[in-house]
A and B are shown apart, each in its own frame.
Chain A
Amino acid sequence: MYAPAPLHIPDGFLSILLSGVLWIVSFALVAYALKRVNKELDERKLPVMGVLAAAIFAGQMLNFTVIGGTSGHLMGAAIATILLGPWAAIIVMTSVVAIQALIFQDGGLLVLGANIFNMAIIGVAVSYFVYTTVQKLTGKRPWGIFVGGFLAAWFSILIAALATALELAISGTSPANIAVPAMGGIHALIGIGEGLITMGALGLLYATRPDILQVGEKRSMGGAVFWLAGLLIVVALAIASPFASANPDGLEWVAEKNGFISLAQGPVFEVIPDYLLPGLSSQALATILASIIGALLVFGVLLVVTYSRRKTAAQSIHQADALKKEQ
């Protein structure tokens, strides 16, 4: 029914420093997008953005069989960008990703900043860059909308996947020489599904409500900055990914140098001497102690809850008895 997409990073997979940095970056960019949207759009924006975010979320349940058990479905950054313009699309995608994490545990809370960065910011910037470039090249002919939509969707998925892989590699969670080609390869395929669905959706909208497709274009104030950002992201990741996957040690070195890995590794200092009893290390002793404390905690809570439940059950039986007697 609701299948988690492989782009949503769960908690525990990114180092805390990287999570923090991406939270700050995403928060600043989303706050700026909010300011822009507040300035550009009328008060009508609120319901449109809320309902469209719900539609993108629900649209992710639309899937089609590709081969056997695998199926393609929608992320939605490209279609949101084309329909609403980049700033509003960032906010809509942020809402989608946030709800997925908060309610459906699809993606973690501490890494929510990173997931927003990958899907809402990179996804939208790349979509905008690709779509507007294709529009300009084709001189706004109708088929440019479809080609642009397909390519925007495909690139947004692929680049977001590469960014995810690099973040995993920087955190020391996954080696770059495996994560980058694997994530890139899988999402190059998933992106085709995204592209075809986006194209089909644009086809229907073009046939029925061409005015909606023009709405996004009007709202492209600050478009040049956005275009440039999209270009930079595509170029940076297209260059960095093969480099990183060819030289995983290089990335490890960068990570080490910036303290990403050291933060997630090893005890800070040792107070308890290594051996307390002959043959029993402090670590083993601590593990045994922790197990006992943990088990006591769980059973204690279990006892309290069952006891209080029994008490309330007994009370209600008493009350029922009392009622019967009165009758």
Chain B
Amino acid sequence: MHVHFLDPFRPGVSLVHRMDPRIKLVLTLAFIVLTALVPPGIWPVYIILLAIIVSVEILSELGIDYVMKRSLLALPFMLAAFPIIFTAPGPEFASFSIASWTISVSMTGLERFISIALKSWISVQAAIVLAASTPFPDLLLAMRAIRLPRLIVAILGLMWRYLFVLADEVLRMNRARAARSGHPDRPQGRTGGSVVWRARVTGGMAGSLFLRAFERSDRIYNAMISRGYDGEVRALPLSGLVTTDWLVLILGLIFLAAILVLSLLL
């Protein structure tokens, strides 16, 4: 078994896939910034934003169910914003009494919580479409194009290249551990000794993972040297931006700016 299923990229020929990665990256970031700027409780704008991102998902032909499934990943964090429902000052929406306690839900708090939840859900969908419709090497070139430091982009590229190799390594280690430590019948049951013992075994696995990573990086370095590496990572540049690309970028940004103005007017 390989962990290539970790790679979120899904090849395709849709309009979204064919869009220049630089334009796609900038527009995605602008969309997420816009989503963050919309004040809480301006529901019409949230509906428009949701409609936009769902339309893009349909255009990208990735499958709505795929994007939705992945977007649930950010869900557990909602818990962090949940208490705001009860603590934010504002008119009371509803109150419950449990034994001698009275818990009251404030209108402002509820509005803020739903806004936060919607914002994070809309933003995460935009990020998913970007990652799923753009091959990572193209994304790296786009990052260079928006002037991120060369070294960090090079490290991200190397990290990406060996991520799956090392993740496979981890899978093999996990399988070996499972094979060595008998599984009890109860699914939740403990395997092996105490918690500390289990943690130390896992630590040993992490240690040997780092050791193998170090040794692998030596071999990679030698391979790079023998292919003429001189401290500079070179890649075939993306083709120049044509008029259509600029048009898409400018129209997209104007459209997003218009929504922002609308959200401030409402």
Q: Which residues of A sit under 8 angstroms from B179, Cβ to Cβ?
A: none
Say whether B116 contacts A12, CB under 8 Å.
Answer: yes
B208 interfacial contact with A, CB 8 Å = yes
A37 interfacial contact with B, CB 8 Å = yes
Say whether B166 contacts A58, CB under 8 Å.
Answer: yes
Binds B, one of A124-132, A133-141, A297-305: A297-305
Say whether B217 contacts A51, CB under 8 Å.
Answer: yes
B145 interfacial contact with A, CB 8 Å = no
Q: Which residues of B sit under 8 angstroms from A65, Cβ to Cβ?
A: 190-191, 198
Given A55-B213, A74-B206, A201-B207, residue A294 in contact with residue B47 (CB < 8 A): yes
Say whether B159 contacts A53, CB under 8 Å.
Answer: yes
* Chain B residues within 8 Å of A, Cβ to Cβ: 6-8, 28-29, 32-33, 35-37, 39-40, 42-45, 47-48, 50-52, 54-55, 58-59, 61, 70-71, 73-74, 76-77, 80-81, 83-84, 87, 112, 116-124, 127-128, 131, 136, 139, 149, 151-152, 154-163, 165-167, 169-171, 173-174, 188, 190-191, 195-196, 198-214, 216-218, 220-221, 224, 229-231, 233, 264-266
Q: Identify which of A30, A61, A74, A205 contacts B152 (C-beta below 8 A).
A: A30
Mark each residue of chain A from 54 to 78: 1 if its CB lies under 8 Å from any CB of chain B, else 0: 1101110111111111001010000
Bound CA span A53–B214, Å: 11
Say whether A46 contacts B152, CB under 8 Å.
Answer: no
Chain A residue nearest to B151 (CB atoms) is A34
Q: Which residues of B sit under 8 angstroms from A179, Cβ to Cβ?
A: 80, 83
Say whether B159 contacts A54, CB under 8 Å.
Answer: yes
Q: Which residues of B sit under 8 angstroms from A267, Cβ to Cβ?
A: 39, 42, 264-266
Bound CA span A96–B5, Å: 19
Say whether B76 contacts A52, CB under 8 Å.
Answer: no
Chain B residue nearest to A106 (CB atoms) is B73
Q: Identify which of B52, B80, B152 contacts A95 (C-beta below 8 A).
A: B152
Say whether A64 contacts B201, CB under 8 Å.
Answer: yes
Q: Which residues of A sit under 8 angstroms from B173, Cβ to Cβ?
A: 62
A94 interfacial contact with B, CB 8 Å = yes
Say whether A6 contacts B44, CB under 8 Å.
Answer: no
A320 interfacial contact with B, CB 8 Å = no
In the complex, how many angstroms separate the beta carbon of A179 from the nearest chain B beta carbon? 7
Say whether B32 contacts A108, CB under 8 Å.
Answer: yes
A314 interfacial contact with B, CB 8 Å = no
A323 interfacial contact with B, CB 8 Å = no
Q: Which residues of A sit under 8 angstroms from B196, Cβ to Cβ?
A: 196
Q: Which residues of B sit under 8 angstroms from A265, Cβ to Cβ?
A: 39-40
Given A91-B152, A102-B139, residue A174 in contact with residue B80 (CB < 8 A): yes
Binds B, one of A220-228, A231-239, A281-289: A281-289
Q: Which residues of B sit under 8 angstroms from A282, Cβ to Cβ?
A: 266
Q: Which residues of A sit under 8 angstroms from B209, Cβ to Cβ?
A: 55, 58-59, 62
Say whether A205 contacts B221, CB under 8 Å.
Answer: no
Q: Which residues of A sit under 8 angstroms from B122, Cβ to Cβ?
A: 12
Bound CA span A83–B211, Å: 11
Say whether A198 contacts B203, CB under 8 Å.
Answer: yes
Given A66-B195, A196-B196, A197-B202, residue A54 in contact with residue B163 (CB < 8 A): yes
Q: List 5 A-B contacts (CB under 8 A).
A: A47-B218, A65-B191, A175-B84, A283-B44, A290-B43
In the complex, how many angstroms separate the beta carbon of B32 from the nearest chain A beta carbon? 5
Say whether B220 contacts A200, CB under 8 Å.
Answer: no
Say whether A105 contacts B51, CB under 8 Å.
Answer: no
Say whether B112 contacts A172, CB under 8 Å.
Answer: yes
Chain A residue nearest to B200 (CB atoms) is A200
Bound CA span A178–B51, Å: 34
Say whether B32 contacts A294, CB under 8 Å.
Answer: no
Bound CA span A16–B212, Å: 41
Bound CA span A103–B131, Å: 6
Bound CA span A204–B208, Å: 7
In the complex, how many angstroms separate the beta carbon of A13 from the nearest chain B beta carbon? 6
Given A44-B221, A291-B47, residue A31 in contact with residue B127 (CB < 8 A): no
Bound CA span A264–B35, Å: 11
